[in-house]
Amino acid sequence: MKRKKIYLFVFIFISLCVSNVFSQMRSFNDIFPSISSDIRSSIFTDKGYVKSSRRTDNFYIFGNQQGVRLDPQLVNIVLNRNPGYIVESVMVIQQTQRAVTLLDVYNALSNVRGLKGRLYDSTTRNRAVPLFEDATRIVSQRQTTAIPDPSPAANLPKEETLYIRLKDVNFGNTYYRGEMALVQNGLRYTLLNFRNMTYLLVPVLREEKFIAQLYVEPIREGILIYSIAGADISDFVASKIDIDSAISKRLAVITAWAADGIRN
């Protein structure tokens, strides 16, 4: 009888803890209280809602519309880079194999090698091809020796900086500084190129002219992923390539990598 009482007490205690955590979670409507039903429906699909905009068209930015309760810095950090082009993505992962914590999110985003071989639909090649032919951490901005990803962490750091080399199918070796930090109710992941991105030796994106941010937050409906990327590119280069498509594809691949890591 005594053992049964202990089991009952433990069950009640765990139930109360789970209930308390759930009650502290925001709902999707808490964050996006006034969006249309068609946009909401898109957000709850596997590919999510994607929107691009240009400075010449007076940027429409979904993440800072009136009533949206995201940390303003998610958008402001990108705008402070003076981009000419912005792409946003919003999606909610509704089903996962288990309850997902921010530690799970951190470990998923720490798997840099998971970016290798991820496919995108190439219009010029008329087939799906790997966007990043290789992906690895490197020691630092000055020392680009490849190092392995760490083992899954047992504790969630408040912030962390890492350095990444991605062999891009169009731009060759590209180099990024990644920064992860706990923000608001979730985790923010920022990528900023610290070397020029070139095509046939011609600089397409100068150093620190491309930035992407992911914000991941467990919500009552699942896992919210808000992504925004911006690029500051010359008018001459922009006239030669489809920059909206170039940014969209890279943001889509990075977001899908994060989503798949969280699901698994």
Query: Residue ranges per domain, the chain?
Result: 27-263
> Cα–Cα distance between 79 and 160 in angstroms, integer?
22
Least confident segment among 116-120, 123-127, 159-163, 220-224: 123-127
Residue 20, pLDDT above cutoff 60: no
Q: Kindly indicate the confidence band of residue 16, based on its pLDDT and cuts at 50, 70 and 90.
A: very low
- The token duo for 235 is 């008018």
> Domain spanning 27-263 has what CATH number?
3.30.530.20
> Are 229 and 87 in contact, with CB atoms under 8 Å apart?
yes
**Would you give the distance in Å from CA 83 to the centre of its chain?**
18
- The pTM of the full predicted model, rounded to 2 decimals, is 0.89
* pLDDT, position 39: 95
Q: What percent of the chain has pLDDT over 90?
A: 73
**How high is the pLDDT of residue 1?**
52
Query: Residue 35 has which token pair?
Result: 């969006």
pLDDT at 237: 82
- Binned at pLDDT 50, 70 and 90, residue 199 comes out as confident
More confident residue, 182 or 203: 182
Q: What is the mean pLDDT of the chain?
A: 89
For residue 121, count CB atoms less than 10 angstroms from its CB and return exposed for 0-12, middle for 13-18, buried for 19 or more. exposed
Integer CA distances (angstroms), 252 to 6, 46, 84, 120, 189, in order: 49, 11, 19, 8, 15
